[in-house]
Structure 1
Amino acid sequence: MANPLDFSGKTVLIVGGTSGIGNGIAHGFREQGAEVHVTGTRASANDYSPEDGSVLEGLTFHSLDVADRAALDAFAWPERLDVVVLCQGIARYNRDEFNREGWDAVMAVNLDSLLDCSNAVRPKLAESGGSLIIISSIGGYRGLIGNPAYGASKAAAISMVRSLSLAFAAEGIRVNGIAPGYVHTKINDAFLGNEKFRDATIANTPRGRLGLPQDMAGAALFLASPLADYVVGQTISVDGGLSVGN
């Protein structure tokens, strides 16, 4: 029996794949034989450092600011796409998301660009009978006292998975999502750096640890593989069980 997780000959694009969860997912597909492309907002791959959680060896880098619609319109997407993972995301702190400028900035990346990117890759995924995976957050299921835009955008992303799965299914495109829990990445340092918060989070997580980017890679590989051929419109929480009791 052929290995259903062998992605040799497949082309995968991770939008927001230069660091953190996106980078972990990118290397998960690379290790399974895929040709992997990643996008990031900096000018070149040389502007990223492994110390920041950015390991770009073996990946093809493209500079793209997904909040810039003109840049999206001009972007040269890979000629073939079998799997697209939308992992772009930002958050603002110090109550900045309560201000309209902060709200708009978060929404432009975390929500608006999801639709723009989905529409852009739709024809190529239809050609390949491919898979679209949207990364949201368990924050989309709960209130976030300091991040109303982040929470709202992730809740909308979860809803978008359901809507796009219905809209794209007739073209042979499967749309699903992943809602990560608390994952040890640079973007989460703002609150996981707080020892009291970190310890409480781990104590409330049945798995007994924080998540890692490679934990999200496992879920992405499954959703993009033939093993998930009958899985459509679902967002899988990958959070070590944190949401089960909260």
Structure 2
Amino acid sequence: MAQDTDFTGKTVLVVGGSSGIGNGIAHAFMERGAKVHVWGTRPSAEDYSAEDGSDLTGLTYTQVDVGDPDQIEAAQPSFDTLDVLVLCQGIVAYKRAEFDRPGWDKVMSVNLDSLMHCSRKFKTMLQDTKGSIIIVSSISGLKANIGNPAYAASKAGAINLTKTLGQAWARDGIRVNGLAPGLVDTKLTKVTTDNPKRMEGALAAIPAGRAGEPSDMAGAAIFLASPLASYVCGHTLIVDGGLSL
């Protein structure tokens, strides 16, 4: 059974792997033998710190702002083959900024448009290795999210894109799946996790009684990328401690 989650000799790219959920996923693959590459927005790995929820030790870092499709197009990967593409990029705009065009456009460009641009860029590599794509969305894509229309709409789009690419590319040997986190303590959720009253209310709604950790999401990603999930296609696995129930 252990060999099913052994990624020795495999190459993994985690877009948005510089912190939070993506960083946890990147380390999980590295701990299982993979060569892991990470794309982030800051100039270098040294520009991240533990306070950001970031640990880039052992990971190969490249600056690519995926909110700009031209940067995705121009990016020159430092690897020749790719086995797993994890798309974990994501932003949110608070204080009702997503109701205005700049906030809406920025969130949609990162959270939805870039998923397709990155998938298309690496399709040939993944077809050659019979690899897989994992799209990280959110349970916000399954319901309303007061104050954040672009975030909710983009995550709903990500879930449907997972289905559509899963259907379209399965015959090319590429499995496309996703995972939808609930509340995970990252820099995007500090508005809740750093507010004791909000956090108390949030925890009361989670049957598991705790917030998720990046490692919880990493376990799901490892499963979806492994031979254990060889017949899973176009599915988004909800990993939320029961919050969406």
TM-score range (shorter-chain normalised) is: over 0.9
Aligned partner of 2:73 in structure 1 is 73
Aligned partner of 1:43 in structure 2 is 43
Per-residue CA deviations over 1:120-174 (Å, capped at 9, x if unaligned) read 0110000000010000000001111110000000000000000000111111000
Structure 1 position 34 matched with structure 2 position 29: no
Change (3 A) 1:186 1:203: same
Aligned partner of 1:227 in structure 2 is 228
Residue 107 of structure 1 aligns with an amino acid whose one-letter code is M
1:57-96 superposed matches below 5 A: 57-77=57-77, 78-96=79-97
Residue 240 of structure 1 aligns with an amino acid whose one-letter code is G
The alpha-carbon deviation at position 2 of structure 1 amounts to 6.0
Supply the distance in 2 between the matched residues of 1:82 and 1:134 (Cα, whole angstroms). Answer: 14
Q: Where do 5+ consecutive residues of structure 2 fail to align?
A: none
Aligned partner of 2:106 in structure 1 is 105
Residue 124 of structure 1 aligns with an amino acid whose one-letter code is M
Aligned partner of 1:216 in structure 2 is 217
Per-residue CA deviations over 1:178-201 (Å, capped at 9, x if unaligned) read 000000111110222222221122
The alpha-carbon deviation at position 51 of structure 1 amounts to 1.9
Supply the distance in 2 between the matched residues of 1:113 and 1:180 (Cα, whole angstroms). Answer: 19
Task: Provide the identity percentage.
Answer: 58
Aligned partner of 1:243 in structure 2 is 244
1:104-123 superposed matches below 5 A: 104-123=105-124
Residue 182 of structure 1 aligns with an amino acid whose one-letter code is L
Supply the distance in 2 between the matched residues of 1:103 and 1:71 (Cα, whole angstroms). Answer: 20
Query: Bigger shift: 72-81 or 230-239?
Result: 72-81
Aligned partner of 2:22 in structure 1 is 22
Supply the distance in 1 between the matched residues of 2:140 and 2:225 (Cα, whole angstroms). Answer: 23
Query: Bigger shift: 212-221 or 195-204?
Result: 195-204
Q: Where do 5+ consecutive residues of structure 1 fail to align?
A: none
1:190-201 superposed matches below 5 A: 190-201=191-202
The alpha-carbon deviation at position 79 of structure 1 amounts to 1.2
TM-score under structure 2 length normalisation: 0.98
Per-residue CA deviations over 1:28-69 (Å, capped at 9, x if unaligned) read 001111000001001111111112111000100011000112
1:139-154 superposed matches below 5 A: 139-154=140-155
Supply the distance in 2 between the matched residues of 1:93 and 1:206 (Cα, whole angstroms). Answer: 26
Aligned partner of 1:11 in structure 2 is 11
Supply the distance in 1 between the matched residues of 2:52 and 2:150 (Cα, whole angstroms). Answer: 25
CA RMSD for the aligned pairs? 0.9
Supply the distance in 2 between the matched residues of 1:127 and 1:231 (Cα, whole angstroms). Answer: 19
Supply the distance in 2 between the matched residues of 1:49 and 1:193 (Cα, whole angstroms). Answer: 18
Supply the distance in 2 between the matched residues of 1:19 and 1:150 (Cα, whole angstroms). Answer: 19
1:149-168 superposed matches below 5 A: 149-168=150-169
**Corresponding pairs, count:** 244
> Secondary structure at the residue paired with 2:43?
coil
Query: Bigger shift: 104-113 or 43-52?
Result: 43-52
The alpha-carbon deviation at position 223 of structure 1 amounts to 0.2
Supply the distance in 2 between the matched residues of 1:157 and 1:172 (Cα, whole angstroms). Answer: 21
